[in-house]
């Protein structure tokens, strides 16, 4: 079966712009969570959606937002981009409410802010 | 708050040898799960192995095994018969159920290099 699909794979944006990243989970998975990975801060949790509801949010400014659609696909948006937002953004999907079934990650979107 | 500590920034191992990657964790929740992921240079996080806090036996998946010592709060990954393709970054992660939702806390990772 198809894995977790993240688009685009690479993105270059200018400071001050906004960006939208997409994540399509494994078919049947209803939980999608997002992570930011940087050399300095490592992997940090952004937020998680389950059945179109945000269940959990990490410690990020309000410029970072997300949503989930009825088909479980998720998008995250970053407004007013800053140089420090340059990172690999990973999404993970899970089948179960509690995540006991494990998490499958996508290949990530590498965002560069110039 | 939960915390994962990986104290080995980098490790070298000879091909066909076994290697142990260290992971210690801290949580106040009696119910939690521990994961190991491999991240090659391409960026994708590849799931390797899972250990639940109530599992009686150490988890094994092919060449991967998890040395789970609950009292010491450690969950070391053992890779047997290392292969060149095992060269990658390895992350230990934990989910506890106290916070609700699906949130993983990651360690800082260990860069493993397998040499001929």
For the stretch B18-71, pLDDT in tens is 999 999 999 988 888 999 999 999 999 999 999 999 998 999 999 999 999 999
Check A105 against B37: CB less than 8 A apart. Answer: yes
Tokens in use for A78?
């970053």
Mean pLDDT of the A94-110 span: 79
pLDDT for A55: 87
Q: Which of A30-39, A101-110, B10-19, B62-71 has the lowest mean pLDDT?
A: A101-110
Tokens in use for A100?
């006991």
CB contact at 8 A, B28 and B13: no
Pairing of strands A109-113, A10-13: parallel
Residue A97 phi, psi (nearest 5)? -55, -35
For CA atoms B32, B38, B44, B50, the dihedral sign is negative
Q: At residue A4, does pLDDT exceed 90?
A: yes
pLDDT for B98: 63
| Tens-digit pLDDT profile for residues A39-90 | 999 999 999 999 899 988 999 999 999 999 999 999 999 999 999 999 999 9
- The count of C-alpha atoms lying within 13 angstroms of the C-alpha of B48, restricted to the half-sphere facing its C-beta, is 26
Whole-angstrom distance, CA of residue A91 vs CA of residue A19:
16
Q: B3: distance to nearest CA of chain A, Å?
A: 12
Q: How many CB atoms lie within 10 A of CB A57?
A: 15
The string of DSSP codes covering B73-109 is: TEEEEEE-S--GGG-EEEEEEEEESSS-SS--EE---
Q: Which of A50, A98, A104 sits opposite B47 (nearest CB)?
A: A104
Q: What are the Cα distances from residue A69, in Å, to A9, A33, A51, B44, B49?
A: 21, 13, 8, 24, 30
Q: B101: distance to nearest CA of chain A, Å?
A: 6
CB contact at 8 A, A114 and A103: no
């Amino acid at each position: 079966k198809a894995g977790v699909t993240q688009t685009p794979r690479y993105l270059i944006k200018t400071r001050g712009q906004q960006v939208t990243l997409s994540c399509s989970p494994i078919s049947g998975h209803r939980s999608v969570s997002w992570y930011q990975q940087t050399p300095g801060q490592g992997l940090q949790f952004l937020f998680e959606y389950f059945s179109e509801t945000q269940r959990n949010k990490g410690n990020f400014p309000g410029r970072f937002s997300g949503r989930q659609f009825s088909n479980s696909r998720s998008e995250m948006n970053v407004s007013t981009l800053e140089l420090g937002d340059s990172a690999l953004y990973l999404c993970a999907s899970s089948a179960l409410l509690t995540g006991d079934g494990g998490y499958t990650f996508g290949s990530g979107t590498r965002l560069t802010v110039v | 708050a939960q915390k994962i500590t990986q104290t080995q920034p980098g490790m070298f191992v000879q091909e066909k040898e076994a290697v142990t990657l260290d992971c210690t964790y801290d949580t106040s929740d009696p119910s939690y799960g521990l994961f190991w992921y491999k991240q090659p240079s391409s960026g994708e996080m590849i799931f390797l192995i899972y250990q639940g806090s109530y599992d009686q036996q150490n988890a094994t998946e092919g060449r991967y095994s998890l040395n789970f010592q609950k009292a010491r709060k450690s969950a070391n990954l053992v890779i047997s018969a290392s292969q060149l393709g095992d060269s990658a970054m390895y992350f230990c992660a934990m989910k506890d159920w106290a916070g609700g939702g699906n949130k993983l806390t990651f360690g800082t990772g260990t860069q493993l290099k397998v040499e001929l």
